[in-house]
Amino acid sequence: MTTVNEIINCTPHAIVLNDGRTFPVSGNVARVSMAPSFVGVIDGILTYRNEAGPITGLPAPVEGNIFIVSAMVLDANSRCLRPRTDLVAPSTGNSSTVRNEAGHIVSVEGFVIVGEFVA
């Protein structure tokens, strides 16, 4: 288990864990722009590959802090030349994710990482 100073939510909405812990929005929203790159036509349908641009809105690393970001930002970070190791995203893809009657996520069991994790 990793001990941290602070977990900072850099998404535009509160993150709630199944155990009731809540991470309110911090005011910093990490985002990544996507630029479509034309790759061809499939059965008459224009087809593109999205290329990730730079990540914006992410605070500088602070030793002992973890930053919650979206899965898209986490994925873009993993493709960076020097990926950060202090980022996590809500774990939305498992059976313990709680959803409301409309299918919206209410809470998650924990976080996911990409690559090595060092907080």
pLDDT surpassing 70 at residue 87: yes
pTM of the predicted model as reported, rounded to 2 decimal places: 0.85
More confident residue, 55 or 1: 55
The whole-number pLDDT of residue 2 equals 61
- Mean per-residue pLDDT of the chain: 92
Residue 118 pLDDT level (bands cut at 50, 70, 90): low
Secondary structure class of 8 (helix, strand, coil): strand
The whole-number pLDDT of residue 11 equals 97
Q: Residues 32, 52: contact at Cβ < 8 Å?
A: yes
- Which helix (H) or strand (E) segment holds residue 107: the answer is strand 105-107
> What is the Cα–Cα distance from 55 to 104, expressed in whole angstroms?
26
